[in-house]
Structures are given as structure tokens and as C-alpha cells.
Amino acid sequence: MKVEQIAIFLENKSGRMADITAILARNGINIRAMSLADTADFGILRLIVNDTEKARKVLKESGFTVGTTEVLVAEVEDKPGGLAYVLQVIKDGALNIEYMYAFTQKSGGTGLIIFRFDELDRAITLLTEADIRLLSGDEVYAI
């Protein structure tokens, strides 16, 4: 149920995202989800890709600072209140969300929410007990 994500430290200067996506493209790596958080001086690009280890390797070889973290990917109904239900379960369980981001595949179906929790194993237990479907890494990488 845990999904591996790469995090890339970026200087906040023009062209860095283009450089990263070009490197990934040249190496046949497909991006499944992404999030960029930045400040005036730097940013952190978080990616879920179809080949995490290869992406980490080619980006490091290209001079980028790259780390990996584990996240959870929860399936959420794509309707009003879908996300509110999941967040209420998290609130009731007193879990701390470090960050989250989302993507959908098709409107009206389901959305996928990527969560980073400070207590990942407890989050797995809490969410699965609430019948919230968590996707495996293989499922997410194959999207």
C-alpha cells in the first residue's frame, strides 16, 4: 500500500523543470503525479513515476539532489463530499498530514489523493478500517 515517491531539490531558476522532464523523457520515464512547492530561493518537486529507481539514478547522475519517500495513495469518490469524508476519518484518528496532492483520471469516477503522513503505518490501518481503498505502488505506477 505504500507508494514510493521521489523528491527533487530545485534552485528557483528558469528552466529547471524543463531540464528534469527532458531527462525523464530521454530515459523513457513517465510521470504519474507531480507537486511543486517553492519559496523565493528553492523548490521541492515531488514525483510519482513509473520507474522510481531509474528516475532517481538518472536525475542524480545529472547533478540533481534527489531523495525518496513513501506516501499513500487513496481512492476518493469524485463527488462533493468525497474528500471531506477521507479528511474527517483522518481528523477523527488524530493523524497529521505533512502534505497532500491529488489527480483524477476521469471526471465523475474517482480521484486519487497522495498523502504523506508522519505515522504512515497507523494511517494505513485507520484508512483501511474506514473502507478507504489504498492503491499499491504497482497500481499507481501502471496508471
pLDDT digits (tens, 9 = 90+) for 122-131: 999 999 999 9
Is residue 109 over pLDDT 80? no
Q: What is the mean pLDDT of residues 17-38?
A: 94
For the segment 82-99, the average pLDDT, to the nearest whole number, is 95
Q: Are strands 2-11 and 42-49 parallel, antiparallel or unpaired?
A: antiparallel
Please, which pLDDT band fits residue 99 given cuts at 50, 70 and 90? very high
Instruction: Write down the pLDDT at residue 106.
Output: 64
The 3-state DSSP class for residue 17 equals helix
CB-neighbour burial class of residue 25 (10 A; exposed 0-12, middle 13-18, buried 19+): exposed
Q: How many CB atoms lie within 10 A of CB 46?
A: 20
Give this prediction's pTM.
Answer: 0.88
How large is the average pLDDT for residues 15-25? 93
Give the homologous superfamily in CATH for domain 72-134.
ACT domain (3.30.70.260)
Which pLDDT value is given to residue 57? 97
Phi and psi, residue 55, nearest 5°:
-60, -45
CATH 3.30.2130.10 matches 2-70: yes
Q: What is the mean pLDDT of residues 106-131?
A: 90
Q: Contact, 41 vs 103, CB < 8 A?
A: no
Q: Determine the Cα–Cα distance for residues 7 and 67; give it in Å rounded to an integer.
A: 5
Model confidence band, residue 105 (pLDDT cutoffs 50, 70, 90): low
Domain ranges of the chain: 2-70, 72-134
Q: What value does the mean pLDDT of the chain take?
A: 92
Nearest to 93 by CA among 123, 131, 132, 133: 123
Question: Percentage of the chain with pLDDT > 70?
Answer: 97
Tell me the pLDDT band of 103, cut-offs 50, 70 and 90: confident
Strand ordering across the sheet containing 65-77? 31-38, 42-49, 2-11, 65-77, 110-117, 97-104
